[in-house]
Structure 1
């Protein structure tokens, strides 16, 4: 096992074992505390809602008693039923409605109130508009006692109210009729507000079960269906679990039961939140542990890696890499010793490179002396004067052009050139070629004056023009040379020769031996490629376009390097 793995393993083991033990003990302790807290809160709210519903039902019972026979309103109803004269019936009708409205106004917890005639299926003396049809038999029965039935929660029969209400239907007990009932509903939004008391976070739902175990009202019909028997009702359990829902039941003194239902995910939400906090703290603790292990690794293992990198860089590259210190004296001493050794090796490399470069320069110098340009120049001058004395104008012209071209080619080897000098050398070369060949061709040269003094590599124009001459240029042929200054030096050479194939163009741009044997005094396309590659790297671009039978175009773009602009300005000032 590596040192790095051992460090991380030891630190992780020493940190995680106590953390895991502490987390397990904390989890079971907090799980018990939170479970008791949640259940106590639900049961307390459940009891409060149950008491509120009981009080609402008691209010309905108390109010409905005032409408029965023996009370003021009940007696007037009996008189109304027995009255035969229209005027008397109208007076009693107004009096009953007035009493109903007064009673409803003085009891804000009361809503729709009216008398119901069961045998006829009609109602009368209502204090609010009634939804049609009205049928108490369709209401969810909550509890039933002698002479009175309780319904709900259900949607109000008040045409102006769509809230859930509780209602009561009590027999009036008239002497002459036994089919008259008083119907009373709870007040506006009273029942809905009671049911919303213990679910401010919308997690709890309610189910109301009558005294026979039948579900009279359910807010979760997918789990507890209305008119079905509540699970385990006969067993009398106060809580349970059914289909991923926890339920808690509270039985009222009136015999019906209220059940609070909560989804398992919501029930465990607080526990999961606490567990997440413990997990985050554990991750933070683990992160601190790993950070300490990383610090130890940085002090011991990382310096070893630097030794490895030093050795790798030494074998793969001559470039000197300045690495920061490790802040550990022992390692820093070893690194400094190693770098001193590298420095000595680099010095040996540089010494060998300098010797090799000096050897190559000596070979070039030897070659120049072998060529002996001064001897060639003097000999051509002698030939020039012989031609003048003998009246050989054509030979004189040929010798002068050759003399100038050789002077440019041999007299400044290794020195920089300019576009102006390249153009002059190109003109001398074209004079020699026109005398040499037995056909005439037209060469047009257009050069931007701003580019004349900019330095460029020597012999870049002549090989390009030479290419046009050697690839099918015949009588009436022309060569157009353009040199402009844009973002760089843009050189273009066009001819109307026989053109080249794509294969030939590919060979010219990619072969290392193209034109070496064919081109005479020119250095060739291969020289141009190598020269711009050496001078400009990948910043220059050489492109050839040709069409068989129509001609060839060569495009060369050279960047303006740092210092060339100032060179140009100083040259122009002279």
Structure 2
């Protein structure tokens, strides 16, 4: 045993799976055979009880349905319209015409009731003058039977009575008495006879024990069901005399298994007879068929296990070979071989493993390429950083030299432009500051205006209307200068006449604790459609086209989505850019 365990432990996945599947199929077949023997013997013992339970259930269903039909006879008995019509027939002095009308009403009512009931064949009322009024099927009834049923109803004194005729028809009979809703006076109004479709009642509620089973119902003296029983009345009577409620019996040359149940309500006896030989012949055939099928499944399962084991181990062996190639550094050739080998729609675990391996190789290659590219970017960035450290200092030194020469030569305008340009360059460089005070932002504006006034002279009419109390308000850096630049570019440059540009700071009326910074000009203005196209980014501007969108995006990122820029313009009148920000006081903030 130990040797076998050692061999099994050292065997490959293929041989282990093959052995396990074979053992599993053999054990399953053995368990099946044992279970089949047990179930067969258990079936032999429980067959009697099971058939008896089925018959009891069928009898209970029939009895329950008959009780419901007994309630139907009471509903017909107590129907207000029938009660009134039958009462009118008893009135002394009623003419034949009046009686005919009442009888017509009774027949119409009986027809309506019978038509709505599934199990009712016909409903008959026999009035005090022995007139038969029928609803439903109009088949007649022999006078002798009417007389007999009327006599039975009178003896029951208003209670329902079940009656089986000589033709095995099933009737519910009761005497109709006057009914006031809660009491039954002794006045006799007629006789109610309801004929039922007993085949429907029985066939709807019988739980058959099989195609060869035969159900027989008798009240002890007459056979109620079926109309043509399997055995004669004498043989049925002999079966009823047996003391056992189930067992085997021989009728003619055939053996039957019988089960007998007697109901407590109606006193009927239910007898079920099933051919014994055909029942067990079917069971034996099924046992043999299932055994053959299971043996076939055993061999098919072993063959399928071999194929399944191969389908699992072969891809794994291929993956092992590829991994060994990776160990040797043969990544390029392995990546080319792996392309297109695994279908994209494959879903098995092994195929997922192959696809993951393929993706891993591609990812390794991508990481290698990315790492190489990053190294190049890092080296380039280092060079640019060194250049960025040299260029600004060189530029500032150059501007200082130009400024010194301008002052020496008495060129005040050139000196002012150089100083303003230097200030603008220092302010525009990214020094890590995201928010500046309005005062610092206005210093940038003044330097920019200084340069533009030298350029445009009296054509530029610029004004600042900023209360001192708002100079400490925080604003995103370089917000106003691009707006002023746009005003000069689009309003001042196209005009010959002077252009008035103003920057006004005021409280925002519709929001508490907010500022509205307005940059307005009296240039050519814009139409509403043009503004819509501009805000949607569908207009190609003369500049770079990033000024307004860049400013608004920085405001929303800094203060929130409810803040930003609003454009107000009238063609040939004015244009105003409203910068809406919250009023926050403080020092300049770093990013």
TM-score, reference length from structure 1: 0.42
Higher helix share: 2
TM-score, reference length from structure 2: 0.41
